[in-house]
Chain A
Amino acid sequence: MPRATEGGPSDASGRRTGRSRKVSQRMAVVSETDREQVTNARLAALETDGGLQDNFGADSDAEFELQDSDQEAELGDQRNKRKRKANRQASRKTRARAGEVRGHKAFAVLLEEADLDPDDTQPNYLTAAMGPPLDGTPRRWCSVCGFAAPYSCARCRMRYCTRKCYAVHCDTRCLKFTV
């Protein structure tokens, strides 16, 4: 058990008081870099296929491709079971290699391999990206109800509009994100 010894607010038994626990949680502020990471993770999540939870599911991309054995079945080719079984066994042996052949590269990987120059005089994928907005102040929407939000949470800087929404925010979202 970690003990608060060096001048920390502790009672005789060495246990941290309720007050200190409360205060320390109040003071926990999410750093600018962490907040940026959270924003980027969220933007990346918006680009995923098939739902926001799917990424953590057991479905692998390979299930979404027609395999050769499926293709035979689709064409109405009624091979006997033994042959299909043999096929399956063979594919199990060569699974590692098959995965290599089957797997496609993500766009980010392809982009990196293309080695484009963002300052190139010839236009390319990177130079076509739109720059930041001219009017520097972004609009702020309440993270709970979606209307204009004049306030931001002191701990995590998420926006809220009223005390009511702030209470909901504290109960549900504040400091609960995972990167």
Chain B
Amino acid sequence: MAPSASGQVVVLDDGGSTIKVGLAGQSDPARILPNATGKVKGGPQLLIGDDIDAQADISSLSIRRPIEKGYVVNWKAQAQIIDRACRGVLPHSTKGCSMLLTEPLFTLPAIQEARCQAVFETLGCQALLTLPAPLLALTQHCAEVPNLPASRAHCGVVVDAGFSFTHVVPIFDGKVMKSAVRRIDLGGKALTNYLTELVSYRSMDMREEAYLMEHIKNAISFVSTDLKADLVKAKTSSKLKVEYVLPDGLSLARGFVREPVPLAKGETRTEQVLVLNNERFLVPELIFSPSDIGLQQAGLPQMVADSVMATHPDLWPLLFSNVVVCGGLATCPDFQERLLKDLRPLVPDHIKVDVWKPKDPIAAAWQGGSRVGASAQFAHLAMTKADYEEDGIR
């Protein structure tokens, strides 16, 4: 039964770090808010979603996320965050609207059941369509670069380097080739915690400041395109050294990055400063070489090669010519360049390799979702509340 087209389609990209929300057909998500609930140490009030961003002092903020290892395990909290996210986007509430929701690949049936229950019963939606985020990101990329042969075939490899994990997803003719999907259990969250561990041991105990560390990581990290040279540079000079001035909660609400300021003799610092040197590039380096921390999984370049080579050899040239990076880690400077540099030697010579980055790697999946939500396809693919009540999850 095809659902009626009545009711607005709200598109949600339910990411591990942030949730992007907006109405289908728009070019950019109307709101991007933290996908978390939080508390200030000692404070009684519970903060949901955008409350966290509104908080003036982000130090000592402790947060919980409904998503664990990339999958929503706490649908009660997730429904509350979605409800909050939709306020301001929808005129009333989620009741009666249709929803397009991203869902990671290989979601366990128990989680899907809880998801349907939350969407149809708690939020009162009328129709639901769930699609994997990499597929939507490729849709957006194909729309941005329409002249590419691979784009016309709606074909490519999406490297979704998000907050919870990193997926490599080969797609052909708009369909995910599930048997060739590869995953490493490393994402932005693990990198932030790794950075926290490093600075807590080397300079200052930051283990209480998870949310602040997230900001610091985003502000200072970059991917090295020539690791050996950068290591020498970091060791022998202070070219890569930066200082992060920590917020003090009084005059400075947000921290910032600056060039190292040498202290004159006898002078003492009034502000608290975190000095960062090789951590800046050795932290994102984990994605390219997880064995650095003892995780026995191959790095991203080998993952891409392995994934594509699990498909039919006739597809290799098409797939390798359209490697798309998206997700939060893709915004890290030189991520794209490094991937291309390391991937090239792993691919046979005669095959052309190209790595692309959408205009906005974080919002790409949402933008693709917006296109699908506005098309006639949506009504065909979506599951309606009546379907759900009749058959349960499909």
Contacts and interface: CB of A to CB of B under 8 A. Distances in A.
Interface of A: 39, 42-43, 45-54, 57, 59, 61, 63-66, 70, 102, 104-107, 110-111, 113-114, 123-125, 127-134, 138-139, 141, 144-148, 172-173
Contacts of B208: 51, 53-54
B46 A63 contact: yes
B359 interface: no
B296 interface: yes
A147 B294 CA distance: 16
A64 B292 contact: no
Interface in B171-215: 178-179, 181-185, 189-190, 193-194, 196-198, 200-202, 207-211
Given A51-B196, A66-B48, A129 B297 contact: yes
Contact of B63 (A50, A102, A130, A146): A50
Size class of the B contact interface (CB-based, 8 Å):
35 or more
Contacts of A66: 37, 46, 48, 77, 80
A128 B209 contact: no
Contacts of B327: none
A49 B73 CA distance: 13
Given A52-B193, A66-B80, A129 B73 contact: no
B33 to A, nearest CB: 15
Interface string B49-91: 0000000000000111100110101111100100000000000
Contact of A114 (B80, B110, B231): B110
Contacts of B231: 147-148
Contacts of A147: 231, 234-235, 278
B262 interface: no
A51 to B, nearest CB: 4
Contact of B302 (A61, A105, A134): A134
B275 to A, nearest CB: 13
A29 B230 CA distance: 35
A51 B77 CA distance: 20
Interface stretch (B4-12, B101-109, B252-260): B101-109
Contacts of B105: 128
B376 interface: no
Interface string B265-293: 00000000000011100100000011111
Interface in B291-312: 291-299, 302-303, 306
A146 B279 contact: yes
Contacts of B210: 49-52, 54
B181 A128 contact: yes
Nearest to A126: B106
